Amino acid sequence: MKVVALAGGVGGAKLADGLARVLKPAELTIIVNTGDDFSHFGLRICPDLDTVCYTLAGMANPQTGWGRKDETWNVMEHLREIGAPTWFNLGDRDLATHLERTRRLAQGERLSEITRQFCDLWGIQCSVMPMSDDQMETWVETMEAGWIPFQEYFVLHRCELKVKGFEFRGREKARPAPGVMDAIQKADSIIVCPSNPWVSITPIVEVPGIMEEITRSDAIRIAVSPIIQGKTIKGPAAKMYAEMGIQPSATTVARHYSSWIHGFVMDVLDQQERDDVMRLGVEVLLTDTIMTDVEKRVELAQAVLEFSEKLSREIVKS
Ligand code: FO1
């Protein structure tokens, strides 16, 4: 079975890890959002790529979900002493990743190639690829500060500003990274991880060509809700919907994706919304989606894959 997972952020990385533990390495390709990427102190930082890779490699900080475990913060302390900006926390070990990535990008290497080599070094056997090697940056339109880059919204302003909209700057010139279109073409199943629909998944499918390839493929397409009981486990997705005048719920997420998914996985706690989602023309799997530990990641991954196989049998029959 060939599976493509679309992922960004901590929730996405957890399900990607579950899938990597269930599938054979050659069966799984994870396409990661790079709309969050930015340059800071001259370094190229790719938060979602690093979160996915650190999580798969067992190197992620279990408290934050981003950054590395067993981290030290010497550079940050010295930056503070000399009055440098410290709003974005870069641990010493994590800094090594950004330094080496930036050095190699400056030499003309592609982000996808650097990511593949980091994965090899870190023992990650499935394919992890950025959505694009080109810069396509998420900007957030806020009520209070106008248009600002994503990391300023997310980290500097702690998601406190009111959101009005999003823009993916550089989109026109962005191309899917090598391997992305091929993986989608060959996929039996495309799984949208429980990531933020606005700023983790939309940038991926907005890369010119990717959505067309997804809808052209014969793959079963399934999304997992990041919203449970109107709230997100982590991150601002529910807050973003509310600020844009949309009631946050699992049904809202299903509606967000309904034009291109076959199946939707939502938490048992939201079972009263099942019929609303079915009315969107989408099949539903109710299951426990809260990934509190590695076993739960694996259980959710297994449930999603079984659901995909069931839908595949049903669609072939009909
Ligand atoms: N998120 C924060 O909330 N505060 C931080 O200081 C922070 C630093 C950071 C450093 C490296 C990295 O790879 C990720 C980091 N993140 C931080 C997470 C990052 O902002 C992600 O874009 C979000 O998690 C959204 O996916």
User: pLDDT tens track of the chain, all 318 residues?
Assistant: 999 999 999 999 999 999 999 999 999 999 999 999 999 999 999 999 999 999 999 999 999 999 999 999 999 999 999 999 999 999 999 999 999 999 999 999 999 999 999 999 999 999 999 999 999 999 999 999 999 999 999 999 999 999 999 999 999 999 999 999 999 999 999 999 999 999 999 999 999 999 999 999 999 999 999 999 999 989 999 999 999 999 999 999 999 999 999 999 999 999 999 999 999 999 999 999 999 999 999 999 999 999 999 999 998 766
**How many alpha carbons fall within 13 Å on the CB side of residue 145?**
15
- DSSP state at residue 271: G
- Residue 20: both structure tokens together: 């990597």
Cβ–ligand 1 distance for 196 under 6 Å, the answer no
Report the separation in Å between the CA atom of 188 and the middle of ligand 1, taken as the mean of its atom positions: 32
Return the ligand 1 atom nearest residue 65 CA.
Answer: 24
Q: Which CATH superfamily is domain 3-137+172-317 in?
A: CofD-like domains (3.40.50.10680)
Domain boundaries, the chain: 3-137+172-317, 138-171
Given a contact cutoff of 8 angstroms between Cβ atoms, the answer to whether 180 and 201 are in contact is no
Which amino acid residue places its CA nearest to atom 13 of ligand 1? 47
The H or E element containing residue 251 is helix 250-257
Cβ–ligand 1 distance for 155 under 6 Å, the answer yes
Q: Which of 71, 155, 201 to mutate to test the pocket of ligand 1 (most atoms within 8 A of CB)?
A: 155
Sign of CA dihedral 123, 124, 130, 133: positive
Report the separation in Å between the CA atom of 66 and the middle of ligand 1, taken as the mean of its atom positions: 6
- Cα–Cα distance list, 3 to 26, 27, 65, 90, 219 (Å): 9, 6, 24, 33, 9
Cβ–ligand 1 distance for 88 under 6 Å, the answer yes
Check residue 25 and give its pLDDT: 98
SS3 content of the chain, % helix, strand, coil (to 5): 45, 20, 35
Q: Which of 37, 44, 49, 89 to mutate to test the pocket of ligand 1 (most atoms within 8 A of CB)?
A: 89
Return the ligand 1 atom nearest residue 36 CA.
Answer: 22
Cβ–ligand 1 distance for 198 under 6 Å, the answer no
The H or E element containing residue 79 is helix 74-81
Check residue 131 and give its pLDDT: 98
Cβ–ligand 1 distance for 194 under 6 Å, the answer no
Report the separation in Å between the CA atom of 34 and the middle of ligand 1, taken as the mean of its atom positions: 13
Report the separation in Å between the CA atom of 153 and the middle of ligand 1, taken as the mean of its atom positions: 11
Given a contact cutoff of 8 angstroms between Cβ atoms, the answer to whether 248 and 272 are in contact is no
Check residue 315 and give its pLDDT: 83
The H or E element containing residue 103 is helix 92-106
**How many alpha carbons fall within 13 Å on the CB side of residue 78?**
6
Q: Which of 55, 94, 118, 154 to mutate to test the pocket of ligand 1 (most atoms within 8 A of CB)?
A: 154
Q: In angstroms, how far is CA 187 from the centroid of its own chain?
A: 18
